[in-house]
Copies of this chain bind each other. A is one copy, B any other.
Amino acid sequence: MAELKETLLERREVFRGRVLTLFLDRVRLPDGREATREVLRHPGAVAVVAQRDDGRVVLVRQFRHAVGQELLELPAGKLGPGEDPLDCARRELEEETGYRAGRWERLGSFLTSPGFTDEIMHLFLARELVPGWHRPDDDEFLEVVEADPAELLRTGGILDGKSILGLLLLGRS
């Protein structure tokens, strides 16, 4: 098997924000040469496929500044320091949609873009939904939307990767 590993030689923090930290790393390549790598540290996140008893899923529509448009997405949020992903999923589902769930399952975890970031996304399936307390974060403005998951996939109205992935995994669960 080929030697593929890169070794970190030097790390320089070029930006530390509220959410993201960006590093410029110098690495040694497997053949001994050097290269630079731009690396974005992310705290990780969760997303929830919340399915009602009638089969419809609960989504949120929100404006995403990074892409300059409104997107329809699964309820989701970033992990707090040391936070358990399931606790985070429960919190985000209730804050963003007003639902609590009686039954939780893990759908899996994936890396969103491992070429430049360590962001990991944990996907959960939430069922047996009951009303909770709806209270979005201070700087979150969103609209709750309920829709048929097969229809959402068929019409292609979802651009967000984690949401497409979650709905595809729901179809296989």
Contact = CB atoms under 8 A, between A and B. Distances in A.
Interface in A44-94: 45, 61-68, 70-71, 73, 76, 78
A8 to B, nearest CB: 8
A118 to B, nearest CB: 5
In the complex this chain forms, how many copies of it are found? 2
Contact of A111 (B65, B71, B114): B71
Contact of A40 (B20, B33, B61, B78): B20
Contacts of A19: 38, 116
Interface string A99-120: 0000000001111111111110
B25 A22 contact: no
26 contacts: A1-B143, A2-B143, A3-B141, A6-B63, A14-B15, A18-B38, A19-B38, A20-B38, A20-B40, A27-B65, A30-B141, A39-B66, A40-B40, A42-B116, A64-B114, A64-B115, A66-B117, A73-B114, A109-B159, A110-B159, A113-B119, A113-B161, A114-B160, A161-B161, A161-B162, A161-B165
Interface of A: 1-6, 8, 14-15, 17-20, 22, 24-25, 27, 29-31, 33, 35-40, 42, 45, 61-68, 70-71, 73, 76, 78, 108-119, 121, 139, 141-143, 156, 159-162, 164-165, 168-169, 172
